[in-house]
Structure 1
Amino acid sequence: MTAMPQGRARRSALTSAVCALVVTGTALTGCAGEDPDAGTNGVGKLPAAQIQSRTRAAADTADAVHLSGNVVTNGRTYRIDMRLKSGGGSGSVTSQGATFGLLRIGSQLYLKADAEFWNHADGGGDTGAADKLDGKYVKVPQDDPAYRKFSGFTDKTVLLDGLLTLHGTLATDGRHKQSGVRTVRVTGDQGSGGTLDVSLEGRPYPLRLVRAGGAGTLTFSDWGRDFPLREPEKSDTVDYGKQLPTS
Protein backbone atom coordinates (compact mmCIF):
# COMPACT_ATOMS: atom_id res chain seq x y z
CA MET A 1 0.00 0.00 0.00
CA THR A 2 1.38 3.40 -0.99
CA ALA A 3 1.84 5.73 1.99
CA MET A 4 0.00 9.06 1.91
CA PRO A 5 2.43 11.93 1.27
CA GLN A 6 3.24 13.84 4.47
CA GLY A 7 1.79 17.15 3.18
CA ARG A 8 -1.50 15.50 2.19
CA ALA A 9 -1.74 13.79 5.55
CA ARG A 10 -1.34 17.14 7.31
CA ARG A 11 -4.06 18.70 5.15
CA SER A 12 -6.38 15.76 5.83
CA ALA A 13 -5.84 16.07 9.59
CA LEU A 14 -6.44 19.83 9.44
CA THR A 15 -9.66 19.35 7.45
CA SER A 16 -10.92 16.81 10.01
CA ALA A 17 -10.16 19.21 12.86
CA VAL A 18 -11.99 22.08 11.14
CA CYS A 19 -15.00 19.83 10.46
CA ALA A 20 -15.12 18.83 14.12
CA LEU A 21 -15.16 22.49 15.16
CA VAL A 22 -17.93 23.32 12.69
CA VAL A 23 -20.12 20.39 13.70
CA THR A 24 -19.85 21.20 17.41
CA GLY A 25 -20.89 24.82 16.85
CA THR A 26 -24.38 26.20 17.33
CA ALA A 27 -25.44 25.87 13.71
CA LEU A 28 -24.82 22.53 12.02
CA THR A 29 -23.40 22.74 8.51
CA GLY A 30 -21.97 20.35 5.98
CA CYS A 31 -18.20 19.92 5.71
CA ALA A 32 -15.96 18.45 3.03
CA GLY A 33 -18.93 17.75 0.80
CA GLU A 34 -21.02 16.05 3.48
CA ASP A 35 -24.80 16.27 3.01
CA PRO A 36 -26.29 18.08 6.05
CA ASP A 37 -29.64 16.41 5.29
CA ALA A 38 -28.25 12.88 5.36
CA GLY A 39 -30.36 10.78 7.72
CA THR A 40 -32.94 13.53 8.28
CA ASN A 41 -36.63 13.74 7.34
CA GLY A 42 -35.71 16.12 4.51
CA VAL A 43 -37.71 19.18 5.58
CA GLY A 44 -34.51 21.19 5.95
CA LYS A 45 -34.31 21.39 2.14
CA LEU A 46 -37.74 23.00 1.86
CA PRO A 47 -38.63 26.71 1.76
CA ALA A 48 -39.52 28.20 5.14
CA ALA A 49 -43.26 28.42 4.38
CA GLN A 50 -43.39 24.72 3.49
CA ILE A 51 -41.48 23.79 6.64
CA GLN A 52 -44.00 25.71 8.73
CA SER A 53 -46.87 24.00 6.89
CA ARG A 54 -45.35 20.55 7.47
CA THR A 55 -44.72 21.14 11.16
CA ARG A 56 -48.27 22.44 11.72
CA ALA A 57 -49.67 19.35 10.00
CA ALA A 58 -47.48 17.08 12.16
CA ALA A 59 -48.57 18.88 15.34
CA ASP A 60 -52.26 18.78 14.40
CA THR A 61 -52.25 15.04 13.72
CA ALA A 62 -50.19 14.04 16.79
CA ASP A 63 -52.22 12.24 19.46
CA ALA A 64 -50.56 14.04 22.37
CA VAL A 65 -47.90 16.54 23.38
CA HIS A 66 -46.13 17.89 26.46
CA LEU A 67 -45.89 21.69 26.38
CA SER A 68 -43.95 23.81 28.86
CA GLY A 69 -42.65 27.34 29.15
CA ASN A 70 -43.80 30.93 29.51
CA VAL A 71 -46.61 32.73 27.70
CA VAL A 72 -47.18 36.48 28.01
CA THR A 73 -50.68 37.64 27.16
CA ASN A 74 -52.54 40.84 28.08
CA GLY A 75 -49.57 41.94 30.15
CA ARG A 76 -49.65 38.83 32.34
CA THR A 77 -47.05 36.04 32.30
CA TYR A 78 -48.21 32.45 32.61
CA ARG A 79 -45.81 29.62 33.34
CA ILE A 80 -47.46 26.52 31.87
CA ASP A 81 -46.62 22.83 32.09
CA MET A 82 -49.36 20.86 30.35
CA ARG A 83 -49.89 17.45 28.76
CA LEU A 84 -52.53 17.63 26.07
CA LYS A 85 -54.48 15.31 23.81
CA SER A 86 -57.79 15.31 21.97
CA GLY A 87 -59.79 14.16 25.01
CA GLY A 88 -58.47 16.80 27.39
CA GLY A 89 -55.34 17.67 29.30
CA SER A 90 -53.70 18.00 32.69
CA GLY A 91 -50.94 20.01 34.27
CA SER A 92 -50.25 23.25 36.06
CA VAL A 93 -50.26 26.97 35.42
CA THR A 94 -48.48 29.64 37.47
CA SER A 95 -49.40 33.31 37.29
CA GLN A 96 -48.55 36.19 39.61
CA GLY A 97 -46.97 33.83 42.09
CA ALA A 98 -49.99 31.52 42.33
CA THR A 99 -49.93 27.98 40.95
CA PHE A 100 -53.05 26.00 40.17
CA GLY A 101 -53.65 22.62 38.59
CA LEU A 102 -55.95 22.01 35.65
CA LEU A 103 -57.58 18.76 34.56
CA ARG A 104 -60.06 18.42 31.73
CA ILE A 105 -61.70 15.15 30.74
CA GLY A 106 -64.04 15.65 27.82
CA SER A 107 -66.07 18.74 28.66
CA GLN A 108 -65.56 18.54 32.42
CA LEU A 109 -62.92 20.93 33.73
CA TYR A 110 -61.43 20.74 37.21
CA LEU A 111 -59.33 23.40 38.91
CA LYS A 112 -57.13 22.55 41.88
CA ALA A 113 -55.51 25.22 44.04
CA ASP A 114 -54.70 26.12 47.63
CA ALA A 115 -56.80 28.22 49.98
CA GLU A 116 -54.75 31.35 49.29
CA PHE A 117 -55.66 31.16 45.59
CA TRP A 118 -59.37 30.83 46.32
CA ASN A 119 -59.27 33.50 48.99
CA HIS A 120 -57.68 35.91 46.52
CA ALA A 121 -60.20 34.94 43.82
CA ASP A 122 -63.04 35.69 46.22
CA GLY A 123 -61.57 39.04 47.15
CA GLY A 124 -60.62 37.76 50.58
CA GLY A 125 -64.23 37.81 51.74
CA ASP A 126 -65.00 34.16 52.51
CA THR A 127 -62.05 32.35 54.07
CA GLY A 128 -64.31 29.49 55.13
CA ALA A 129 -65.19 28.67 51.53
CA ALA A 130 -61.54 28.98 50.53
CA ASP A 131 -60.53 26.48 53.20
CA LYS A 132 -63.10 23.99 51.90
CA LEU A 133 -61.67 24.28 48.39
CA ASP A 134 -58.05 24.03 49.53
CA GLY A 135 -56.28 21.24 47.61
CA LYS A 136 -59.50 19.89 46.10
CA TYR A 137 -60.46 19.29 42.49
CA VAL A 138 -63.19 21.87 41.99
CA LYS A 139 -65.68 21.26 39.19
CA VAL A 140 -65.88 24.31 36.95
CA PRO A 141 -69.34 24.97 35.45
CA GLN A 142 -69.22 25.44 31.67
CA ASP A 143 -71.07 28.77 31.84
CA ASP A 144 -68.70 30.15 34.47
CA PRO A 145 -66.14 32.81 33.41
CA ALA A 146 -63.39 30.63 34.90
CA TYR A 147 -64.23 27.88 32.40
CA ARG A 148 -63.67 30.18 29.44
CA LYS A 149 -60.57 31.62 31.08
CA PHE A 150 -58.80 28.35 31.88
CA SER A 151 -60.13 25.63 29.57
CA GLY A 152 -57.99 26.88 26.69
CA PHE A 153 -54.89 25.77 28.61
CA THR A 154 -56.19 22.18 28.40
CA ASP A 155 -57.23 22.22 24.73
CA LYS A 156 -54.53 21.00 22.35
CA THR A 157 -56.12 22.45 19.22
CA VAL A 158 -56.90 25.85 20.74
CA LEU A 159 -53.51 26.21 22.41
CA LEU A 160 -51.43 25.17 19.39
CA ASP A 161 -53.49 27.31 17.01
CA GLY A 162 -52.83 30.30 19.22
CA LEU A 163 -49.14 29.62 19.76
CA LEU A 164 -47.62 28.12 16.60
CA THR A 165 -47.62 31.37 14.67
CA LEU A 166 -44.70 33.31 13.21
CA HIS A 167 -45.23 36.88 12.05
CA GLY A 168 -43.79 38.57 8.99
CA THR A 169 -41.61 37.20 6.21
CA LEU A 170 -40.54 33.61 6.81
CA ALA A 171 -36.96 32.40 6.31
CA THR A 172 -34.72 29.57 7.49
CA ASP A 173 -31.86 30.23 9.88
CA GLY A 174 -29.56 27.24 9.77
CA ARG A 175 -29.37 23.92 11.55
CA HIS A 176 -29.44 23.70 15.33
CA LYS A 177 -30.10 21.21 18.14
CA GLN A 178 -32.86 21.07 20.71
CA SER A 179 -32.46 18.56 23.55
CA GLY A 180 -30.06 16.59 21.39
CA VAL A 181 -32.37 16.50 18.36
CA ARG A 182 -31.25 18.10 15.10
CA THR A 183 -33.52 20.93 14.00
CA VAL A 184 -33.98 23.50 11.27
CA ARG A 185 -34.91 26.96 12.48
CA VAL A 186 -37.64 29.04 10.84
CA THR A 187 -37.85 32.75 11.61
CA GLY A 188 -40.39 35.50 11.06
CA ASP A 189 -38.91 38.85 10.03
CA GLN A 190 -35.38 37.68 10.89
CA GLY A 191 -36.44 36.68 14.38
CA SER A 192 -38.43 39.73 15.45
CA GLY A 193 -41.57 37.86 14.38
CA GLY A 194 -40.61 34.75 16.36
CA THR A 195 -38.49 31.64 15.79
CA LEU A 196 -39.48 28.00 15.57
CA ASP A 197 -37.15 25.00 15.76
CA VAL A 198 -38.48 22.04 13.76
CA SER A 199 -37.25 18.48 14.19
CA LEU A 200 -35.14 17.03 11.39
CA GLU A 201 -35.49 13.57 12.92
CA GLY A 202 -38.65 11.51 12.53
CA ARG A 203 -41.77 13.59 11.98
CA PRO A 204 -41.17 17.36 11.64
CA TYR A 205 -42.63 18.29 15.01
CA PRO A 206 -42.10 21.76 16.48
CA LEU A 207 -39.66 21.51 19.39
CA ARG A 208 -39.02 25.08 20.53
CA LEU A 209 -40.85 28.34 19.94
CA VAL A 210 -39.71 31.84 20.79
CA ARG A 211 -42.75 34.07 20.38
CA ALA A 212 -42.65 37.48 18.75
CA GLY A 213 -42.30 40.57 20.87
CA GLY A 214 -40.90 38.76 23.91
CA ALA A 215 -44.24 37.01 24.44
CA GLY A 216 -42.68 33.85 25.83
CA THR A 217 -40.62 30.76 25.04
CA LEU A 218 -42.08 27.26 24.86
CA THR A 219 -40.72 23.77 24.36
CA PHE A 220 -42.67 20.82 22.96
CA SER A 221 -41.87 17.18 23.71
CA ASP A 222 -43.39 13.70 23.97
CA TRP A 223 -45.22 14.12 20.68
CA GLY A 224 -47.61 11.20 20.19
CA ARG A 225 -46.91 9.76 23.65
CA ASP A 226 -50.24 8.94 25.31
CA PHE A 227 -50.95 9.60 28.98
CA PRO A 228 -53.86 8.74 31.27
CA LEU A 229 -56.69 11.13 32.14
CA ARG A 230 -58.54 9.92 35.22
CA GLU A 231 -61.45 11.36 37.12
CA PRO A 232 -60.32 12.45 40.58
CA GLU A 233 -61.58 10.58 43.61
CA LYS A 234 -64.96 11.81 44.88
CA SER A 235 -63.39 12.51 48.25
CA ASP A 236 -61.02 14.94 46.51
CA THR A 237 -63.73 16.64 44.43
CA VAL A 238 -65.89 19.65 45.25
CA ASP A 239 -68.88 20.86 43.25
CA TYR A 240 -68.93 24.55 44.15
CA GLY A 241 -72.21 25.24 42.39
CA LYS A 242 -73.29 27.42 39.50
CA GLN A 243 -70.45 29.92 39.70
CA LEU A 244 -66.95 29.88 41.16
CA PRO A 245 -65.25 32.74 42.95
CA THR A 246 -62.86 34.20 40.37
CA SER A 247 -60.75 37.27 40.01
Structure 2
Amino acid sequence: MAVVLAAALLTGCGGGDAGGQPQSTAPADNGVAALAPNEALQRATTAVKNAKSYHLVGDIVDDGQKMTLDLKVTGSDLGGRVSTDEGTIELLSTGGQQYIRPDETFWTKNTGAKASGEIVKMMGDKWAKVSTKDDLSQLFDIADVDELLKPDGTLTKGEAKEFDGVKTIGLLDGDNSGTLYIATTGEPYPIRLEGGQDADGQVTFSEFGATFDDVKAPAEDQVIDFEQLKSRT
Protein backbone atom coordinates (compact mmCIF):
# COMPACT_ATOMS: atom_id res chain seq x y z
CA MET A 1 0.00 0.00 0.00
CA ALA A 2 1.47 3.37 -0.95
CA VAL A 3 1.98 6.20 1.58
CA VAL A 4 -0.75 8.95 2.53
CA LEU A 5 -1.92 11.58 5.08
CA ALA A 6 -5.00 13.65 4.25
CA ALA A 7 -6.75 16.55 5.86
CA ALA A 8 -10.26 16.10 4.42
CA LEU A 9 -12.54 19.04 5.09
CA LEU A 10 -15.51 16.99 6.21
CA THR A 11 -18.17 19.29 7.65
CA GLY A 12 -21.82 18.63 8.27
CA CYS A 13 -24.75 20.57 6.87
CA GLY A 14 -25.83 23.67 8.78
CA GLY A 15 -28.67 23.09 11.20
CA GLY A 16 -31.70 24.99 12.31
CA ASP A 17 -34.08 24.35 15.16
CA ALA A 18 -36.05 21.13 15.44
CA GLY A 19 -38.73 21.18 18.11
CA GLY A 20 -36.87 23.96 19.88
CA GLN A 21 -33.66 21.87 20.04
CA PRO A 22 -30.59 22.86 17.94
CA GLN A 23 -29.51 20.23 15.41
CA SER A 24 -25.98 18.87 15.60
CA THR A 25 -23.65 20.04 12.83
CA ALA A 26 -21.33 17.07 13.30
CA PRO A 27 -21.05 14.74 10.28
CA ALA A 28 -22.97 11.51 10.69
CA ASP A 29 -21.28 8.17 11.24
CA ASN A 30 -20.86 6.50 7.84
CA GLY A 31 -20.71 2.91 9.10
CA VAL A 32 -17.19 2.19 7.79
CA ALA A 33 -15.81 1.26 11.21
CA ALA A 34 -18.24 -1.66 11.41
CA LEU A 35 -17.32 -3.08 8.00
CA ALA A 36 -14.84 -5.84 7.22
CA PRO A 37 -11.43 -4.34 6.22
CA ASN A 38 -11.76 -5.11 2.49
CA GLU A 39 -15.26 -3.62 2.41
CA ALA A 40 -14.03 -0.48 4.18
CA LEU A 41 -11.21 -0.14 1.64
CA GLN A 42 -13.66 -0.51 -1.23
CA ARG A 43 -15.87 2.20 0.25
CA ALA A 44 -12.89 4.55 0.55
CA THR A 45 -11.72 3.87 -3.01
CA THR A 46 -15.21 4.46 -4.38
CA ALA A 47 -15.59 7.68 -2.37
CA VAL A 48 -12.40 9.17 -3.85
CA LYS A 49 -13.41 8.22 -7.38
CA ASN A 50 -16.86 9.73 -6.88
CA ALA A 51 -15.26 12.95 -5.63
CA LYS A 52 -13.65 13.27 -9.11
CA SER A 53 -10.78 15.36 -7.79
CA TYR A 54 -8.34 15.47 -4.87
CA HIS A 55 -4.94 16.80 -3.80
CA LEU A 56 -2.03 14.55 -2.78
CA VAL A 57 0.87 15.88 -0.72
CA GLY A 58 3.55 13.95 1.14
CA ASP A 59 6.77 11.98 1.27
CA ILE A 60 7.57 8.38 0.46
CA VAL A 61 10.83 6.73 1.54
CA ASP A 62 11.64 3.38 -0.06
CA ASP A 63 15.03 1.66 0.31
CA GLY A 64 16.49 4.91 1.61
CA GLN A 65 15.29 6.89 -1.41
CA LYS A 66 12.97 9.80 -0.58
CA MET A 67 10.30 11.02 -2.98
CA THR A 68 8.28 14.16 -2.25
CA LEU A 69 5.07 14.64 -4.18
CA ASP A 70 2.48 17.39 -4.58
CA LEU A 71 -0.16 16.42 -7.12
CA LYS A 72 -3.63 17.65 -8.01
CA VAL A 73 -5.89 15.12 -9.70
CA THR A 74 -9.11 15.94 -11.49
CA GLY A 75 -10.75 13.03 -13.28
CA SER A 76 -8.09 11.52 -15.54
CA ASP A 77 -6.08 14.77 -15.56
CA LEU A 78 -3.19 15.56 -13.23
CA GLY A 79 -0.83 18.40 -12.41
CA GLY A 80 1.97 18.93 -9.88
CA ARG A 81 5.52 17.86 -9.14
CA VAL A 82 7.62 14.98 -7.89
CA SER A 83 11.05 15.50 -6.30
CA THR A 84 13.84 13.02 -5.55
CA ASP A 85 17.61 13.18 -5.15
CA GLU A 86 17.64 13.17 -8.96
CA GLY A 87 15.86 16.52 -9.10
CA THR A 88 12.32 17.80 -9.51
CA ILE A 89 9.94 16.98 -12.36
CA GLU A 90 6.74 18.92 -12.94
CA LEU A 91 4.00 16.66 -14.27
CA LEU A 92 0.95 17.57 -16.34
CA SER A 93 -1.58 15.25 -17.95
CA THR A 94 -4.64 16.57 -19.77
CA GLY A 95 -6.93 14.93 -22.29
CA GLY A 96 -4.80 11.78 -22.31
CA GLN A 97 -1.58 13.63 -23.23
CA GLN A 98 1.28 13.67 -20.73
CA TYR A 99 3.88 16.42 -20.31
CA ILE A 100 6.94 16.80 -18.09
CA ARG A 101 9.12 19.76 -17.14
CA PRO A 102 12.26 18.57 -15.28
CA ASP A 103 14.61 20.99 -13.57
CA GLU A 104 18.29 21.40 -14.44
CA THR A 105 19.37 19.06 -11.62
CA PHE A 106 17.40 16.21 -13.19
CA TRP A 107 18.91 16.76 -16.62
CA THR A 108 22.45 17.07 -15.23
CA LYS A 109 22.23 13.84 -13.22
CA ASN A 110 20.62 11.90 -16.05
CA THR A 111 22.35 13.27 -19.16
CA GLY A 112 25.60 14.84 -17.96
CA ALA A 113 26.60 18.49 -17.71
CA LYS A 114 27.21 19.13 -21.43
CA ALA A 115 24.00 17.57 -22.73
CA SER A 116 21.92 19.04 -19.91
CA GLY A 117 23.10 22.53 -20.79
CA GLU A 118 21.87 22.08 -24.37
CA ILE A 119 18.56 20.59 -23.22
CA VAL A 120 17.89 23.33 -20.66
CA LYS A 121 18.58 25.99 -23.29
CA MET A 122 16.39 24.19 -25.81
CA MET A 123 13.50 23.69 -23.36
CA GLY A 124 13.44 26.93 -21.46
CA ASP A 125 10.10 27.04 -19.65
CA LYS A 126 8.41 24.74 -22.16
CA TRP A 127 6.76 21.40 -21.44
CA ALA A 128 8.09 18.21 -22.99
CA LYS A 129 5.37 16.05 -24.53
CA VAL A 130 5.88 12.44 -23.41
CA SER A 131 4.65 9.21 -24.96
CA THR A 132 2.87 6.78 -22.63
CA LYS A 133 5.43 4.22 -23.83
CA ASP A 134 8.31 6.21 -22.34
CA ASP A 135 9.70 5.11 -18.96
CA LEU A 136 9.07 8.55 -17.44
CA SER A 137 5.38 8.05 -18.12
CA GLN A 138 5.31 5.73 -15.10
CA LEU A 139 5.60 8.77 -12.83
CA PHE A 140 1.98 9.57 -13.61
CA ASP A 141 0.91 6.28 -11.99
CA ILE A 142 1.76 7.66 -8.54
CA ALA A 143 -1.68 9.26 -8.21
CA ASP A 144 -3.63 6.23 -9.45
CA VAL A 145 -6.10 5.55 -6.62
CA ASP A 146 -6.39 1.85 -7.38
CA GLU A 147 -2.62 1.43 -7.13
CA LEU A 148 -2.18 3.95 -4.32
CA LEU A 149 -4.61 2.17 -2.00
CA LYS A 150 -3.96 -1.38 -3.17
CA PRO A 151 -2.80 -3.51 -0.21
CA ASP A 152 0.29 -5.70 -0.42
CA GLY A 153 -0.97 -8.20 2.15
CA THR A 154 -4.03 -9.14 4.16
CA LEU A 155 -5.91 -6.19 5.64
CA THR A 156 -6.82 -6.18 9.33
CA LYS A 157 -8.69 -3.64 11.42
CA GLY A 158 -6.48 -1.19 13.30
CA GLU A 159 -7.09 1.50 15.89
CA ALA A 160 -9.32 4.54 15.61
CA LYS A 161 -7.59 7.93 15.43
CA GLU A 162 -8.58 11.52 14.85
CA PHE A 163 -6.75 13.79 12.39
CA ASP A 164 -7.54 17.50 12.28
CA GLY A 165 -10.94 16.84 13.80
CA VAL A 166 -11.77 13.96 11.44
CA LYS A 167 -12.46 10.61 13.13
CA THR A 168 -10.95 7.61 11.34
CA ILE A 169 -10.45 3.87 11.51
CA GLY A 170 -7.12 2.32 10.57
CA LEU A 171 -6.61 -0.57 8.17
CA LEU A 172 -3.30 -2.40 8.65
CA ASP A 173 -1.72 -3.82 5.52
CA GLY A 174 -0.11 -7.22 6.14
CA ASP A 175 2.91 -7.34 8.41
CA ASN A 176 3.33 -3.62 9.06
CA SER A 177 3.50 -2.60 5.40
CA GLY A 178 1.44 0.47 6.19
CA THR A 179 -1.78 1.78 7.71
CA LEU A 180 -4.61 3.49 5.87
CA TYR A 181 -6.89 5.70 7.92
CA ILE A 182 -10.43 6.15 6.57
CA ALA A 183 -12.92 8.78 7.74
CA THR A 184 -15.72 7.25 9.82
CA THR A 185 -17.94 10.34 9.55
CA GLY A 186 -19.19 12.07 6.42
CA GLU A 187 -17.85 10.57 3.19
CA PRO A 188 -15.51 7.61 3.83
CA TYR A 189 -12.49 9.32 2.29
CA PRO A 190 -8.97 8.03 2.92
CA ILE A 191 -7.51 10.48 5.43
CA ARG A 192 -3.99 9.25 6.05
CA LEU A 193 -1.84 6.41 4.77
CA GLU A 194 1.31 5.87 6.80
CA GLY A 195 4.17 3.74 5.59
CA GLY A 196 5.43 0.76 7.53
CA GLN A 197 8.67 -1.19 7.44
CA ASP A 198 8.70 -1.56 3.65
CA ALA A 199 8.11 2.09 2.75
CA ASP A 200 8.28 4.86 5.34
CA GLY A 201 6.53 8.19 4.94
CA GLN A 202 3.03 9.57 4.62
CA VAL A 203 0.86 11.34 2.08
CA THR A 204 -2.30 13.41 2.51
CA PHE A 205 -5.53 13.51 0.54
CA SER A 206 -7.38 16.83 0.62
CA GLU A 207 -9.58 19.14 -1.46
CA PHE A 208 -11.99 16.40 -2.50
CA GLY A 209 -14.23 17.58 -5.32
CA ALA A 210 -12.25 20.80 -5.85
CA THR A 211 -11.81 22.54 -9.21
CA PHE A 212 -8.15 22.91 -10.18
CA ASP A 213 -8.01 25.61 -12.82
CA ASP A 214 -4.23 25.29 -13.12
CA VAL A 215 -4.51 21.71 -14.43
CA LYS A 216 -4.94 22.55 -18.11
CA ALA A 217 -3.17 21.89 -21.39
CA PRO A 218 -0.26 24.23 -22.19
CA ALA A 219 -0.31 26.44 -25.27
CA GLU A 220 1.13 24.79 -28.40
CA ASP A 221 4.09 27.19 -28.49
CA GLN A 222 4.97 26.07 -24.96
CA VAL A 223 5.41 22.41 -25.91
CA ILE A 224 8.37 20.49 -27.29
CA ASP A 225 8.51 16.79 -28.18
CA PHE A 226 10.44 14.75 -25.63
CA GLU A 227 12.02 12.68 -28.41
CA GLN A 228 13.82 15.83 -29.61
CA LEU A 229 15.34 16.26 -26.17
CA LYS A 230 16.39 12.62 -25.94
CA SER A 231 18.26 12.97 -29.24
CA ARG A 232 20.54 15.46 -27.49
CA THR A 233 21.57 13.00 -24.80
TM-score between the two structures when normalised by the length of structure 2: 0.74
2:187 corresponds, among 203, 217, 239, to 203
Q: Which has the higher helix share?
A: 1
Which of 1 and 2 has higher RCO (CA within 8 Å, sep 6+)? 2
Mapped contact 2:30–2:185 kept (Cα < 8 A): yes
Q: CA deviation digits over 1:122-142, x for unaligned, max 9? A: 233322222222432222234
* CA spacing shift, 1:142–1:52, aligned 2, 3 Å: closer
Deviation at 1:97, TM superposition (A): 5.4
1:130 corresponds, among 115, 120, 129, to 120
- Cα distance between partner residues in 2 of 1:221 and 1:234: 31
Deviation at 1:88, TM superposition (A): 1.2
Deviation at 1:234, TM superposition (A): 4.1
- Cα distance between partner residues in 1 of 2:135 and 2:154: 37
* CA spacing shift, 1:188–1:115, aligned 2, 3 Å: closer
Q: Identity over the aligned pairs, expressed in percent? A: 27
Q: How many residues are matched?
A: 205
Deviation at 1:233, TM superposition (A): 3.4
1:43 alignment partner AA: V
2:135 alignment partner AA: P
- Cα distance between partner residues in 1 of 2:134 and 2:177: 35
Q: Which ranges in structure 1 are unaligned for 5 or more consecutive residues?
A: 1-36
Alignment of 1:97-246 (within 5 A): 98-126=87-115, 127-147=117-137, 149-153=138-142, 156=143, 159-189=144-174, 192-215=176-199, 216-228=201-213, 229-241=215-227, 244=230
2:59 corresponds, among 41, 50, 70, to 70
* CA spacing shift, 1:101–1:46, aligned 2, 3 Å: same
SS in 2 for 1:130: helix
Q: Which ranges in structure 2 are unaligned for 5 or more consecutive residues?
A: 1-25
Mapped contact 2:28–2:186 kept (Cα < 8 A): no
Mapped contact 1:144–1:242 kept (Cα < 8 A): no
For 1:60, the equivalent position in structure 2 comes to 49
* Structural RMSD (CA): 2.8
TM-score between the two structures when normalised by the length of structure 1: 0.71
Higher alpha-carbon Rg = 1
- Cα distance between partner residues in 1 of 2:68 and 2:232: 19
- Cα distance between partner residues in 1 of 2:148 and 2:165: 23
- Cα distance between partner residues in 1 of 2:177 and 2:226: 43
- Cα distance between partner residues in 1 of 2:123 and 2:105: 10
Deviation at 1:243, TM superposition (A): 6.0
**Which of 194-203 and 217-226 deviates more?**
217-226
Deviation at 1:113, TM superposition (A): 2.6
